[in-house]
Structures are given as structure tokens and as C-alpha cells.
């Protein structure tokens, strides 16, 4: 048991404790071969794919190079809106912070415009957080709508969102949305409209509750990204795969889940973020788990997804992948984790979501200096 444990932990303990010279030479040789293999096997292929091997079948995304490849330069010839127009669909009486976090994070990263479509009760509160956001108080909850009015009100909500849809580069659906049945029904129609308009969507929070119970909303849509936390992921696995989460085969199960749903990109949040192209992002990170970090992530992924999509359309030769949803997920995950790390270094246990948001710009500048 001692020898087995030493091998699994990197051979350090066995080298010190074993008395056999032959055994020590064997372990030294294995270490050397392991280092050589890690550093030299398929080097050219890894560089071209923009990823690097970690262990087993797991792939660690080369997140910083992805960030550099898809982040646009600041060009004085560009006009307002070309760096991204993001819309958040969420915010109700109980939850006003989540849509704000997602929308303001998009601006802090570099999007030009950020909209929030929320309920009337939430609008004034969200507007008070920042004048930078464009807030649309158009969503309705059941308590404010009579049964005989629901069809008419639903049509008005959809018509209001439709007026703006073609302007958006990405939607974030779910932060602070709540689970009111009428509100969710309206958002279902908005998702369908986004698909018809070929607008990418990032689904988080209560948006995941909605699509878990109505998988046809996102099934087969390659421009959809789902960002479940541990509990949201568990519900998806139980619903779609009819089994429990298997952490021993995490990547394989994530792939199966994405494939069964059909064409979507999954970003499973955790100590390491797993992305359904069998890629993980584990650089940076913070032990502090304050609420709201998922909202920052969804806003971040939305911006980077839109940037990746534009870069691919422009034929950028530095981008080998043609999947903007996957690239946006990698970049959003890495930047969020770096900002959380910097905030924790400064604030430690008192780190809040607002602290992390303030480090988004510096984090991106560290990796992609303005040029």
C-alpha cells in the first residue's frame, strides 16, 4: 500500500522511504520518462489545437492563448457597438443583483453596450445600481396578469424584445429570473426567437431550471452554452441521462450529456471548470465561493463568445477552432478565475462579487495588453 500510494502522489514519498537502490533507479527512470513525455509528445499538434495535455484523457485548455486570439484590438476607427452588444434576460422582485452582475461584467470586460430585460418591479432597483446599463422593464409575473390577459401580455413582451433582437451579439438568459410560470413561458418564447434570429445564448441560473424541463428549447442549437453549477448539473444529468453524477468519469459523462441534449456547449462549474469538448480550465481560481460568481461568468462568456464569433467570421488565422461557443466558454472561465484570484489575494475571506468584477479589466489587461 505504501508503494502504491507513493506512485500515485508523484513518486516523492517512495524515493525517500524505499531502501532498494534498484527500486530508486527504477523510480528515477520513470520520472525522467514521464517528464519527457509530458513536455515533448505531440508538441506541434497541441500547439495547433491551442490546448495541452494534463493527465489521462483530460485536456487542459490553453486558455490564455484563446483569450489573446479572440480579444479584439482597440481601434479608433471602430464605432460604438462593434465591440459587442449583450442583453441579459432576468431580474424579478426577489432577485436584482444577479442580472446586474452579469450585465456590468460584460461592460467591464469590454462590451460596448449592455441591456437588461427584467420585470417592472426590478427595473428601478437595477437602474439604481449603475447608469451604464440599458434597462427594459418589460417582463411580467403571474401576480400582475389576469388569466384572460396572459396571451395578449405575452405577445407584447415578445414584440418588445423582438424590436431589439437583431442588434444583440449574445443573450444571457436566467440570472435572477425566478420561477414564475408566466414569466418562464415568456422567456421560452424569447429563446425560440433568439434561435430563429441565430443569436447566441448563454443559459444560467433559473434559465437552466427552464431548459432542464423543456430541453427542446435548446436541443440542436450549437450557439447555446449551458453553465450549470453542481446542483444544476445534477438535475440535468438525472433528467437527460437518467442516472447520478459520476465524478470518476466526469469528462465522459459531460460529453454524453451534451451529445444527448444535442449540439450545445456545456460549461460545468467547479474547482476546475469542465467544458464539453473534453477541455478543462483549472488555472487561477479562488477558495472563496461568494454568491454571484456564476453571474460574472455568464456575462463574461457572452462577451467572449461574441468576440470569437466575429473573429471566426473575419477569417482570423490564429483561431484553429470554429466553435465560438467553446472558445467563449474557455475565455470566460479563465478570466473569471483570474479576477477571482486577484480579488482574493487582496480581500481574502471578505471577497465579494463586486470585488471580483473590479478585477476583470486588470485581469484581461494582464493577459492581453492594449496595443
Binding-site members for (6S)-NADPHX are: 176, 229-235, 295
Phi-psi region of 56 (alpha: psi -120 to 50; beta: other; left: phi over 0): left
Alpha helices, H only, 20-149: 21-40, 43-49, 63-70, 97-109, 120-129
Q: Find the Cα–Cα–Cα–Cα dihedral 144, 148, 151, 155, rounded to 10°.
A: -60
Return the closest-CA partner of residue 90 out of 52, 47, 121: 121
In the numeric block, the cell 462568456 is attached to: 301
C-alpha distances in angstroms, 29 versus 9, 16, 25, 107, 243? 16, 15, 6, 52, 42
Where is the binding site for ATP, in residues?
A: 269-273, 285-294
Signed CA dihedral, 186, 190, 191, 195: sign only: positive
Residues 318 and 67: their CA atoms lie apart, in Å, by 11
Where is the binding site, in residues?
A: 176, 229-235, 269-273, 285-295
C-alpha distances in angstroms, 63 versus 6, 44, 60, 81, 227? 31, 17, 8, 25, 17
Amino acid at each position: 500500500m505504501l508503494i502504491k500510494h507513493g506512485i500515485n502522489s508523484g513518486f516523492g514519498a517512495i524515493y525517500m522511504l524505499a531502501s532498494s537502490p534498484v527500486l530508486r533507479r527504477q523510480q528515477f527512470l520513470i520520472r525522467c520518462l514521464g517528464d519527457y513525455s509530458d513536455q515533448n509528445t505531440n508538441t506541434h499538434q497541441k500547439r495547433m489545437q491551442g490546448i495541452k495535455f494534463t493527465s489521462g484523457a483530460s485536456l487542459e485548455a490553453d486558455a490564455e492563448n484563446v483569450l489573446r486570439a479572440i480579444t479584439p484590438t482597440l481601434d479608433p476607427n471602430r464605432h460604438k457597438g462593434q465591440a459587442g452588444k449583450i442583453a441579459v434576460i432576468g431580474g424579478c422582485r426577489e432577485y436584482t443583483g444577479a442580472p446586474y452582475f452579469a450585465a456590468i461584467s460584460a461592460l467591464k470586460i469590454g462590451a460596448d453596450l449592455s441591456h437588461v430585460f427584467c420585470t417592472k418591479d426590478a427595473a428601478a432597483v437595477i437602474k439604481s445600481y449603475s447608469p451604464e446599463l440599458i434597462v427594459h422593464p418589460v417582463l411580467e409575473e403571474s401576480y400582475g396578469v389576469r388569466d384572460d390577459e396572459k396571451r395578449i401580455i405575452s405577445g407584447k413582451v415578445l414584440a418588445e424584445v423582438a424590436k431589439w433582437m437583431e442588434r444583440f451579439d449574445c443573450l444571457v438568459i436566467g440570472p435572477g429570473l425566478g420561477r414564475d410560470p408566466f414569466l418562464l413561458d415568456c422567456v421560452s418564447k424569447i429563446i425560440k426567437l433568439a434561435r430563429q434570429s441565430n443569436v447566441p445564448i448563454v443559459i444560467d441560473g433559473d434559465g437552466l431550471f427552464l431548459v432542464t424541463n423543456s430541453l427542446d428549447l435548446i436541443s440542436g442549437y450549437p450557439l447555446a452554452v449551458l453553465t450549470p453549477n453542481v446542483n444544476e448539473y445534477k438535475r440535468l444529468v438525472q433528467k437527460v441521462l437518467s442516472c447520478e453524477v459520476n465524478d470518476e468519469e466526469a469528462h465522459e459523462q459531460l460529453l454524453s450529456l451534451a451529445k444527448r441534449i444535442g449540439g450545445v456547449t456545456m460549461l460545468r462549474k467547479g474547482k476546475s471548470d469542465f467544458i464539453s469538448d473534453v477541455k478543462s480550465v483549472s488555472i487561477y481560481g479562488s477558495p472563496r465561493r461568494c454568491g454571484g460568481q456564476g453571474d460574472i461568468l455568464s456575462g463574461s462568456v457572452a462577451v467572449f463568445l461574441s468576440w470569437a464569433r466575429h473573429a471566426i467570421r473575419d477569417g482570423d488565422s490564429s483561431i484553429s477552432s470554429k466553435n465560438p461557443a467553446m472558445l467563449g466558454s474557455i475565455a470566460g472561465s479563465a478570466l473569471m478565475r483570474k479576477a477571482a484570484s486577484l480579488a482574493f489575494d487582496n480581500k481574502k475571506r471578505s471577497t465579494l462579487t463586486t470585488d471580483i468584477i473590479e478585477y476583470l479589466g486588470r485581469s484581461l489587461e494582464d493577459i492581453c495588453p492594449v496595443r
